[in-house]
Structure formats: structure tokens, C-alpha cells
Amino acid sequence: MKTKTTLLTLVHDGPDREPSAAELAAIEEEMPAIEADVDLLDVEISLMDRPYSELGERRLRRARRKVLAARRTLTNTAGVSA
């Protein structure tokens, strides 16, 4: 969670400035978690208009595990560098 706080405190200037190297590094560090969240959202959206199926349930569980693994890795990495 420290990375999110860092991102929020770094982005305080106007919208017309370029991101700093520190901001880009923080985003790059969080990118696996962001991509996992997007993948989970994609699966959830794709299952909204379909009837229940075991395959859909497996896709959803796989996407949730991917999100948890990415967040765990991010948390463990942030704990080591802190």
C-alpha cells in the first residue's frame, strides 16, 4: 500500500506536466497488479451476459488468483524495499 500512497503524493501538479521518473517507476512496479485487475474485470464483464458454466467459473477463479498473486508479489516487494 505504500506504493499507492507514494503515487498519490507524487501526482499533485497540474494536468499539463509530464510524469517524473519516480512516478513512471512506481507505475511500472505496479503494472502486473494493474494488468491482473484489468484481466479480472474483462472476465467478469464477459460472464455477465452468459449463463453459468463450469468453464466460466474456472476463468473467474483463475483471474482472481492472478490478482491475488500480483498483489502479494507487489506487497512483498514493497516490504523488502521499505
Q: Where are the domains of the chain?
A: 2-6+20-81
The pTM score is 0.71
- d(C-alpha 62, C-alpha 21), whole Å: 33
Give per-residue pLDDT as tens, 29-77: 999 999 999 999 999 999 999 998 999 999 999 999 999 999 999 999 8
> How many angstroms separate the first and last alpha carbons of the chain?
11
